[in-house]
């Protein structure tokens, strides 16, 4: 393939059941661009590697390749490892569970390209209102992070995120876990980038359950981890 203009990274952790649908959707929405799709098998314990090997052998997925991480170190580590293997001038990431539509990656890409200088912004999704509990959690976390970091952040974990590869160079010590999205945005804001949102629909997971919100303990662990990370960014320069 010629040099990609757009590289998409999807971290997949035990998503064997979702990958065939996800990849089929990428085939459906793939645009006529020199672009690449990188699926990171993030230390999955299920059949993800077999499914990827089978699916990626198909001619219609010529634009896709896999990156394998043997031992899971977390969500952020998976995305970042994938991003470091890319060469596209514009890069982006999203999720593997079909909660965000692959078509949103291309919408975000065109939004970024339409800017006078794509180096100056990050394009991210902004979810339509969800159920009350989910909204409250998102709004609460965004508000707390905004106050502590003194930067306006909204719907931090909405997908996708698309930006110029110059911004990758600013991500010098990314967190291994869930706060990765926050880190990408915060580093961008601190460098004076503008965050532009595109509205996205956030559906239900096609298969399986949320990896961090599976039970009350994992939820608390993630939320506390996020709070700790925000303070680290603020007071240790992150």
Ligand X SMILES: Nc1nc2c(ncn2[C@@H]2O[C@H](COP(=O)(O)OP(=O)(O)O)[C@@H](O)[C@H]2O)c(=O)[nH]1
64 to 83: interface string for ligand X, x by CB under 6 A: --------x-xx--x-----
Q: Does 42 bind ligand X (CB under 6 A)?
A: yes
Contacts of 201 (CB under 8 A, 6+ apart): 100, 101, 127, 128
63/34 Cα distance (integer angstroms)? 8
Where on the chain is the footprint of Mg ion (CB under 5 A)? 97, 99
Q: Select from 27-35, 84-92, 124-132, 210-218 the region that touches ligand X (CB under 6 A).
A: 210-218
Task: Give me the count of residues in the chain.
Answer: 238
What's the min distance (Å) between Cβ of 160 and ligand X? Answer: 12
Member of 107, 127, 164, 211 binding ligand X (CB under 6 A): 211
User: Cα dihedral angle (64, 185, 233, 221), rounded to 10 degrees?
Assistant: -60
Residue 111 CB, nearest approach to ligand X (Å) = 22
Stretch that binds ligand X, among 10-18, 121-129, 133-141, 225-233 (CB under 6 A): 10-18
Q: What is the contact mask toward ligand X in residues 120 to 159, using x (rule: CB under 6 A)?
A: -------------------------------------x--
Quickly tell me which residue has 């799709």 as its tokens: 37
Q: Buried b / exposed e across 108-147, counting CB within 10 Å, b at 16+?
A: bbebbeeeeebebbbbbbebeeeeeeeeeebeebbeebee
Which residues lie near ligand X (CB under 6 A)? 11-13, 15, 42, 72, 74-75, 78, 95-97, 99, 157, 210-213
């Amino acid at each position: 393939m010629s040099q990609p203009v757009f590289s998409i990274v999807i971290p997949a952790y035990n998503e064997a059941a979702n990958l065939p649908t996800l990849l089929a959707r990428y085939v459906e929405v793939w645009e006529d661009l020199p672009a690449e799709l990188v699926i990171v098998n993030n230390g999955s314990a299920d059949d993800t590697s077999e499914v990827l090997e089978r699916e990626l052998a198909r001619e219609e997925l010529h634009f896709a390749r896999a990156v394998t991480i043997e031992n899971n170190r977390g969500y952020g580590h998976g995305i970042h490892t994938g991003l470091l293997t890319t060469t596209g001038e514009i890069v982006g990431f999203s999720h593997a569970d079909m909660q965000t539509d692959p078509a949103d990656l291309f919408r975000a890409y065109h939004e970024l390209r339409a800017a006078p200088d794509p180096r100056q912004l990050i394009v991210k999704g902004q979810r339509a209102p969800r159920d009350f509990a989910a909204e409250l959690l998102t709004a609460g976390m965004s508000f707390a992070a905004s106050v502590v970091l003194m930067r306006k952040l909204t719907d931090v974990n909405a997908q996708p995120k698309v930006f110029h590869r110059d911004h990758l160079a600013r991500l010098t010590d990314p967190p291994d876990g869930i706060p990765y999205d926050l880190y990408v945005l915060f580093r961008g804001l601190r460098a004076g980038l503008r965050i532009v949102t595109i509205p996205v629909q956030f559906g239900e997971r096609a298969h399986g359950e949320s990896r961090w919100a599976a039970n009350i303990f994992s939820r608390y662990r993630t939320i506390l981890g996020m709070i700790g990370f925000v303070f680290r960014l603020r007071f240790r320069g992150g």
